[in-house]
Structure 1
Amino acid sequence: MGAKKLRKQWLLHAVGGLLLTGFGLSLFGEALIRKWENAPLWDWLVWGTLALVVFNAGVSLVGQAVVFRVKLDSQKHR
């Protein structure tokens, strides 16, 4: 993979991962609010599950961004 493509992949994964991680935490906050307000179980459970999925997807993208960055740095030092 060329350096230009690696840099683009790194940037997309890093930014996307950080956005999803933050959004997942926001959804988690929404689930907490709904539970605190004694919403039905299914309501806050769905929000919490969605928050978990989105947050973990963000962490996964950030991890893949690290892989792309290491590959990019490795190419630069050759």
Structure 2
Amino acid sequence: MMEALKIKWLLFAISGLILLGAGLSMAIDAALYRMNNSESLNWIFYGTAALIVFNSGICLFGQGVIFRIRMDNLREA
């Protein structure tokens, strides 16, 4: 049980951090795209996708924290 929680914790935490960074980079890129090409509205879709990726990263990282807390609780019991 402990090893399964550790694997889940590592996968979710690392994936969450990767998606957080990617989403933030995409959002900054969308903002720069808006500043350079204000006539095109493609930056809206790119920015929306960036927010989806960023929020997915928050969710995955949060789930990783939950698995870590469960792992610590099992260790104490």
TM-score by structure 2 length? 0.96
Deviations, residues 9-68 of structure 1 (Å, cap 9, x unaligned): 000000000000000001001100111012511x10011000000000000001000100
Q: Quick check: 1:11 aligned with 2:10? A: yes
Q: Structure 1 residues 26 and 10 mapped into 2: Cα distance closer, same or farther (>3 Å)? A: same
Give the superposed CA RMSD.
Answer: 0.7
Matched residue, 2:64: 65
- Structure 1 segments unaligned to the other structure (5+ residues): none
TM-score by structure 1 length? 0.94
Q: Give the Cα separation in 1 of the matches to 2:76 and 2:59.
A: 26
Matched residue, 1:50: 49
Matched residue, 1:40: 40
Q: Post-superposition shift, 1:5?
A: 0.2
Q: Count residues with an aligned counterpart.
A: 76
Structure 2 counterpart SS, 1:40: coil
- The share of aligned pairs that are identical, in percent, is 39
Write out the 4+ residue segments of structure 1 that deviate beyond 6 Å after TM superposition. Answer: none
- Structure 2 segments unaligned to the other structure (5+ residues): none
